[in-house]
Amino acid sequence: MEATASYGPPNLNKGPGILAVSWIEAGVGLVVLSARIYTRSRIVRNMGWDDWTMVFATILALVTTILVTLEVNFGVGRHAIHLEPQDVISAVKIIWLTVPFSTMSACFGKISISLLLMQIINRNRAGKIFLSCLIITLFIVNLLLTIITFAQCRPVTFLWDKLNPHVGYAGKCWSPDVQKNYGYFQGAFSSASDLALAIFPVPIIWKLQMKLRVKLGLAAVLSLGVVAAAAACIKTVELRNLATPDFTWDATDLVYWYITENWIIVIAACIPTLAPLYSILRGKQSRESFLQQGRHRHRLSFDKLKTWFGSWKFHSLFSNRSSEHSPSLTKSSQKDSGLVCSGDSFKTVVPAKESHLAEGHNELQARNQMEIEKTTQVSIV
């Protein structure tokens, strides 16, 4: 229901905008996650802990979006003076119930990114230690925020019932500054962790032997967490509205940004894993080649990412004249040399075997001879 007030601020409603942003982001996030699951389960055939953790983070983000929809239904996005008192209480109740889902969605999303980076850096022991410590700290800091949220009032229901002048029981709460100050700390740490995860792979990428444009593209894809860091910063600033009397109106921007942070993390974490799907759609690599990789149970590495993002840019490394003066490899030589065929191209170039040479041929000349096939892509299997 709607209260009638002839005084105070105008009866504006930001609710439809909140719903539009929330569900558009959710739609994009679910599409990208579905593409990631398809890529890892059907193309690469190698689902890992980072994938399952991201699925869990997405489920929490979806629950958050549903709760935000309920918040809007009870009046979030409108001035409290234009709402029925019971609707204000219900809106505040759902906002507090949203906190653990939103907080832990962002937390598990970052844990998923950390697990992905741990696979990519492979043997970098210092990097793995850093990421392991970050995972543990992320979980503790965000879990504490959830605990503080529901521990600040006794009984817990007094957290929202204290707004009801007709409440039939007595309760006690900590100072609102406790929740707000720890929220500032958690928000600052969240922003710093997003930034750290975005910057972390850049120095390693810069040392790889590849073209500058491929380096920049790979670094940009793996550094999309910068956007999540910006969302976390804005969300932290909006925590100042936690204790205002017109909570349903003043918390609007906070709701915008915590739902946006959740879905940005999901989208940013999934995009780097879609490179095999992108390569197939562009015709740069066949699905069979990725299935071959899946059978060997290879996990991600910078070499693989380098191949997926820039393989079609490496054809200039091979001279077209080489293929003109060298015979094409026969099927038997392909098998002997370990080449994997994808359509009309080969994914790597290796020396042909020298066994079964005809008697009387110069052995030294045969050993030095290379059979090279023209190729348009280079891949690591």
For 240-380, strand residue ranges (E) read 341-342, 345-346
Cα dihedral value 268, 274, 275, 278, nearest 10? -120
> For the purposes of burial, counting CB atoms within 10 Å of the CB of 295, is it exposed (0-12), middle (13-18) or buried (19 or more)?
exposed
Q: How high does pLDDT run on average in the chain?
A: 75
Q: What mean pLDDT is predicted for residues 185-209?
A: 85
Q: How confident is the model at residue 136 (pLDDT cuts 50, 70, 90)?
A: very high
| Count of Cβ atoms closer than 10 Å to residue 359 Cβ | 4
pLDDT > 60? residue 87: yes
User: Do 309 and 205 form a contact (C-beta atoms < 8 A)?
Assistant: no
In SS3 terms, 201-224 reads as CHHHHHCCCCCHHHHHHHHHHHCC
* Residues 312-333, mean pLDDT to the nearest whole number: 36
**What per-residue confidence (pLDDT) applies to 372?**
39
Which pair of tokens denotes residue 180? 């707000």
Residue % of the chain over a pLDDT of 70: 70
What CA–CA distance (Å, rounded) separates 349 from 375?
Answer: 9
| pLDDT tier for residue 59 given thresholds of 50, 70 and 90 | very high
Q: What is the predicted pLDDT for the residue at 314?
A: 33
Span 218-225, mean pLDDT? 74
Assess contact for 145 and 103: CB atoms under 8 A.
yes
Cα–Cα distance between 111 and 117 in angstroms, integer? 10
Residue 177 confidence (pLDDT): 83
Are 15 and 69 in contact by the 8 Å Cβ rule? The answer is no
Specify the DSSP class assigned to residue 377: -
- Per-position b or e across 188-217, b if 16+ CB within 10 A of its CB: ebbbebbbbbbebbeebbeeeebeeebbeb
Residue 20 or 160, more confident: 20
pLDDT band at 243, cuts 50/70/90?
low
- The verdict on whether omega for the bond into residue 10 sits within 30 degrees of 0, i.e. cis, is no
Give strand pairing partners of 153.
173
Mean pLDDT confidence for 231-252: 80
Least confident residue range of 37-41, 258-262, 298-302: 298-302
The ranges assigned to domains in the chain are 15-281, 314-368
pLDDT at 321: 32
pLDDT band at 143 (very low <50, low <70, confident <90, very high): very high
User: Average pLDDT of 12-33?
Assistant: 95
Higher pLDDT, 275 or 322: 275
pLDDT band for position 114 (cuts 50, 70, 90): very high
DSSP codes of every residue in 172-212 = EE--HHHHHHHHHHHHHHHHHHHHHHHHTTHHHHHTSSS-H
Which of 197 and 296 is assigned the larger pLDDT? Answer: 197
List, in order, residues 6 or more apart from 17 with CB less than 8 Å away: 77
Candidate CATH numbers 1.10.20, 3.30.980, 1.20.120, 1.20.1070; the one for domain 15-281: 1.20.1070
Nearest to 370 by CA among 344, 346, 337: 337
Would you call 152 helix, strand, or coil by DSSP?
A: coil
Backbone phi, then psi, for 282, in 5-degree steps? -85, -5
What is the reported pLDDT for 80? Answer: 87
- Greater model confidence, 41 or 373: 41
The candidate with the shortest Cα–Cα distance to 265, out of 57, 5, 97, is: 57
203 has a pLDDT exceeding 90: no
Range ranked top by mean pLDDT from 109-113, 227-231, 256-260, 325-329: 109-113
Distances 169 to 162, 172, 242 between C-alpha atoms, Å: 9, 10, 24
Q: Please compute the mean of the pLDDT values over residues 331-335 and round it to a whole number.
A: 38
- Any bridge partners for residue 345, and if so which? 342
Q: Residue 224: is its pLDDT beyond 50?
A: yes
pLDDT band at 26 (very low <50, low <70, confident <90, very high): very high
Q: Is the pTM of this model over 0.75?
A: no
Structure confidence at residue 7 (pLDDT)? 62
pLDDT at 343: 36
* 4 confidence band (pLDDT: 50, 70, 90): low
